[in-house]
Structure formats: structure tokens, C-alpha cells
Amino acid sequence: MGETARISVVGGSDISREGLTGLIVASGIAATCSSVADWRSLPPELDGGGHLIVLDADTEEQARTMLAGLGPRFTRSKIALICNDFALAFLKEGVASGVSGFLTKDIDFSTMLRKIQLVLSGQKVLPTRSIDDLICSETLVPPADWIDLDRGHKLSDREIGILRCLVDGDANKVISRRLNIAEPTVKVHVKAILRKLRVENRTQAAVWAINHRSRPDFRLN
């Protein structure tokens, strides 16, 4: 078994910080959690691949200050950022600064916990509406082979259901519970989805899904 993950919840009000820590612990995530009021007091010895820093920021400027201070001290830790919203320019800055997850404060706690699990597993997480903005902007141009699927490579109903879960940011274990299928079966379907869509990872599959949700033969909604 791998080492137990360590999660540090930094910033935010006492209620939100302690509340999120309590929910993470109560959710059964295999992690030891602690709240730290000030990011400056986070012990550098926590730095490691199994450490996740969850930053609760009120503004983008506050987030930038935290990231600038934490980056040099925590070079191996994963970072997830909680903010009210994210401008596209800030998303690019955050990714360049090593942020693995961007979580908005308007999502429910169960969704937030699923996204935290994804970040812990090494995935990158963006808010769904930010992916929508990226698709509508000039900052992301989908490859030509994302335009449509060959008729011989259409997704099955089960694969469409799993793709919906990928758009929601679900990990394989969560998909297994939601669809009542075995986790190894989920892995097989995810590999098939990536192959059929000609994408390299789950994030690209989710972007493809959002970009094609109006297709009558796709039925994402």
C-alpha cells in the first residue's frame, strides 16, 4: 500500500477551513488532514509527493501571494486552489505555478471532495465552466480529429455514461459506485473512450464531451 496522503487546508475563515478539514476526514479519504490559518506557518518538512495543499483564497491577488510564497518551499507537494471564480489568464498563471486543481466555492462539498480525490491521484482539475470558456476562446483550438467521430467508433451507452462522470471530475472508484460496475471494468471503458476519441487523458476527454454535448447522437445532457 502507498503512504497515507497528507492534506493541509490553508487560509479562509476558521469556519470554512475547519469545516472542510472535518468533511475530508469524515468522508473516508485515506489522508491525515490539518488546518493552518496562515500559509506562512505551513511546515516545509511536509513537502512530498503525498502532500496536498488546499489553498482557500478570497481573491486572485491573495492566491498569487500564497502561491509565490509556497512555490519555492513546496516543490513536490500538489496544490489545489479554492476561489470564487477564475479568469482564463489566472488559470494559465496557476497551471504555470504548479496548481493541480482549481475549485470554485459554489460547488457542493461532495463534488469538491471528488475533485480533491482526483488531485490526490495525480489528475489536473478545472472548473467545468472554465473549460466552457476555454472552448469558446481563442486560447484553445481543438485538434481537427476532435471535430467528429467516425461512425465505426461511436461510443456505447455505457461509455457515454462514464464520459458524463469524467466531465463531473469523478475518479474511477466514484464512477464504479455511481454506475454500480466494478472498478476494473471502469478502467477498461475509460481506455476505450480515450482510444475512440483519440485523446491522451481524462481531461481531454472531458473537454471533447463538453465541446460535443449538442450532438443528437451523443446525448451528454
Q: What confidence tens digit (pLDDT) does each residue in 20-41 have?
A: 898 888 888 878 888 898 889 9
Domain count, the chain: 2
Mark which of 136, 169, 195 sits at the end of a domain.
136
| Burial class of residue 200, CB neighbours in 10 A (0-12, 13-18, 19+) | exposed
Q: Are residues 130 and 21 in the same domain?
A: yes
Q: How far apart (Å, rounded) are the C-alpha atoms in residues 180 and 177?
A: 5
Q: Is there a domain that residue 114 lies in?
A: yes
Q: Is there a domain that residue 165 lies in?
A: yes
Q: Is there a domain that residue 189 lies in?
A: yes
Q: Are residues 111 and 153 in the same domain?
A: no
Q: How far apart (Å, rounded) are the C-alpha atoms in residues 71 and 184?
A: 36
Q: Are residues 165 and 123 in the same domain?
A: no
Q: How far apart (Å, rounded) are the C-alpha atoms in residues 128 and 109?
A: 16
Per-residue pLDDT tens digits for 60-97: 888 889 888 888 899 999 999 998 877 777 887 888 78
What average pLDDT score do residues 136-152 get?
A: 40
Residue 87: CATH number of its domain? 3.40.50.2300
Average pLDDT, the chain: 80
Mark which of 112, 136, 160 sits at the end of a domain.
136
Per-residue confidence band for 9, with pLDDT thresholds at 50, 70 and 90:
very high
Domain range enclosing 77:
5-136
The residue type of 22 is G
Q: Is there a domain that residue 221 lies in?
A: no
Q: Are residues 11 and 79 in the same domain?
A: yes
Q: How far apart (Å, rounded) are the C-alpha atoms in residues 118 and 52?
A: 11
> Across the beta sheet with 99-104, what order do the strands follow?
31-36, 5-11, 51-56, 78-83, 99-104
Q: Are residues 50 and 126 in the same domain?
A: yes
Q: Are residues 128 and 150 in the same domain?
A: no
Pick 132 or 3 by higher pLDDT: 3
Q: Are residues 131 and 160 in the same domain?
A: no
Pick 104 or 144 by higher pLDDT: 104
Is this structure's pTM higher than 0.85? no
The pLDDT of residue 128 is above 90: no
Per-residue confidence band for 134, with pLDDT thresholds at 50, 70 and 90:
low
Q: Is there a domain that residue 217 lies in?
A: no
